[in-house]
Each structure stands twice: as C-alpha cells, then as structure tokens.
Amino acid sequence: MTALPRRTLLAGLGGLALFLGTAACSSRAPAARRIRVATGADDIGRELAALIDRQLPGVEVSVVTTTASAAAVALVERGETEIGFAQAGVLSPESSVTALARVYEDLLHLVVQADSPMTTVADLRGRRVSVGAPGSGTAVAADRLLAAARMPRDAYDRRELGLDDATAALSRGELDAFFFAGGLPVAGLRRLSDTLRFRLLDLSGWAGTLGSTVWNVPGSAYRTPPAATIADPTLLVASAAMPDDLAFDVTRLLLEHRDELAASYPAIEALDLRSAIATMPLPLHPGAARYYRSVKP
C-alpha cells in the first residue's frame, strides 16, 4: 500500500472535520424566532406578549417596558424590539417603522382635584401642570392642545411627570393639574380614584381645531362626574424587517383574540377589521396587509 504524503493526509482530515462540523450545524434545530414588545407598564403589550408566547411555539417573546411612545418607536427603529405601541401623534410618514393595526383610541385626560376651581384650559395659567413624561404621547397631545389654546410654556409652572409621579404629586397637593393620554379606563386613574376625589376638565371644544375625535368619559370609569374629551389613535408598530409570516400571525392573534385581550385592557373592545387598517400616517406591514386581505369579506 502506498503511504499518503503527510500534507495530503492533514488536508484530508481538515476537510473531514469541516464537513462533520457543517453537517452537525445543519442538523441542529433552527434558531428560535424572537419578538420583543415595547410597551407601557399598564398597557396591553404584556397581555399580547403572553398571548404570542402561548399561541406561537418556537417564538421567543419578551417585554421591554417604556413610559413614552417616542421611546417605543425608537426601540423598533433601532432594531431593539420588533413591535411596540405608539400614539399616532408621535409618528411621522418618514419613519422607518410600519404598522400592524390601529389598536385603540388614546383619550386625553386633564385631571384636577374635585374641589379645584379650574374648569377650562385657560385656567391652567399660573398653575403647576404636568404635561406627561418627556417623549410620551401624552406630552405631544398636551403640547398641541396648549399651543392651540395659546398657552406658552412660561404661562404655567411646567412639570414633566409620568402617570405614577403625577398622581402622587396631585395627591400631596404639589401639583394643580396633569395630563395623561391612555385607553379608557386608565388603570392608574382607577387606582387614584380609590384614594383621591378628582374630576376631568372638558376638552371636547378643541376637537375641531386639533383634528381629534370627541369621546365621552362616563362617570363609572373613575367614579367622577361625566366629561367629554378628545382622542387620537394608538398603533401597534412593527419593524419593516419583521418577517411577513410573523407580522401576519401577530396581527391575526390581535384580532382573533380581541375579547380575551379586552378582559385585561377594555380599551380595545372597539377593535375591528375596519378600524384596524386605518394606520395613518404609517403604511401597513406587508404581512399585516396579507392578513387583512385574507379575512376581507
């Protein structure tokens, strides 16, 4: 038998090792797909994440908590989350994100103590007012309203607090009023109603100026006098790089399990196919668009 040259033998062994390594890699299960959800602490995102985890085997699901719509959009744009919830007011047609659905209406609440003398936006002048956390949909909506009311920033004592800090400050008498935008009913305001008597100022007169819709807040929502306010939509946004099949499935789960999700977050009770596709200023993700076409009557 003729002996193989040492160099040839080593090359052959190296090739065999490479082949075996490649074969081993190809025999492994494919890497699990991933969905990271950017959502507020009291938002629907946690329930949606749990639903995805139950219904889509092989998909790794996690939640990233944020207090601001702008932050949620930025996370999706940077590829740090796949989906997130954002108020339409913080979105731009130039954004790189897409939409899976218009999920619910964000109502702008202007909260004061029950015995406050304030009755209109004009009464905020000279008062201690929180407009919401920086970059939040609340801050965007509040600033639009205050600009329309010709209320410059130096006309009131401006604070920028999230909901928990704002409710605590109002309870301690350190704040005269605060804005918060959220789906009805807002869990944090329900909790506040257990310890403090408050009411909402009527904002419905600004709907036409701001291009918003009018929503009535029943007294049963927070045990307050009924009030009318303005609302703008919240969208479920998604990375344009999200695989079409995943976008299809997440959209499907959102619509098919609406009632289950609404048990934890009543604001989405009004979600239906007609409202879900109204995602301006963002285009629908191709996977979401395919879902809506598949169920079109």
Residues 44 and 119 in one domain: no
**Confidence label for 31 from pLDDT (cuts 50, 70 and 90):** very low
Q: What is the pLDDT of residues 219-249, one digit of tens each?
A: 999 999 999 999 999 999 999 999 999 999 9
Residue of 9 and 98 predicted with greater confidence: 98
Residues 136 and 172 in one domain: yes
Of the candidates 232, 258, 285, which is a domain's last residue? 232
Answer whether residue 53 is part of any domain.
yes
Find the mean pLDDT for residues 46-70. 94
Q: Is the pLDDT of residue 19 over 70?
A: no
Residues 52 and 198 in one domain: no
Answer whether residue 22 is part of any domain.
no
Of the candidates 213, 232, 251, which is a domain's last residue? 232
- In whole angstroms, give the CA distance from residue 62 to residue 8: 51
Residues 228 and 244 in one domain: no
Find the mean pLDDT for residues 23-51. 73
- In whole angstroms, give the CA distance from residue 73 to residue 50: 21
Give the model's pLDDT for residue 20. Answer: 40
Weakest-pLDDT range from 1-5, 81-85, 88-92:
1-5
Helix, strand, or coil (residue 34): strand
Of the candidates 178, 206, 232, which is a domain's last residue? 232
Find the mean pLDDT for residues 215-220. 96
The domain in which residue 261 lies consists of 33-103+235-294
Residues 160 and 112 in one domain: yes
Residues 162 and 175 in one domain: yes
Q: Is the pLDDT of residue 7 over 60?
A: no
Rg of the chain taking only CA atoms, in angstroms:
25
Q: Is the pLDDT of residue 98 over 50?
A: yes
- Per the structure, how many domains does the chain have? 2
- In whole angstroms, give the CA distance from residue 242 to residue 289: 13
Q: Is the pTM of this model over 0.85?
A: no
Q: Is the pLDDT of residue 93 over 70?
A: yes
The CATH code of the domain that includes 204 is 3.40.190.10
Answer whether residue 182 is part of any domain.
yes
Answer whether residue 16 is part of any domain.
no
Paired with 108 in beta bridges are: 181
Residues 244 and 225 in one domain: no
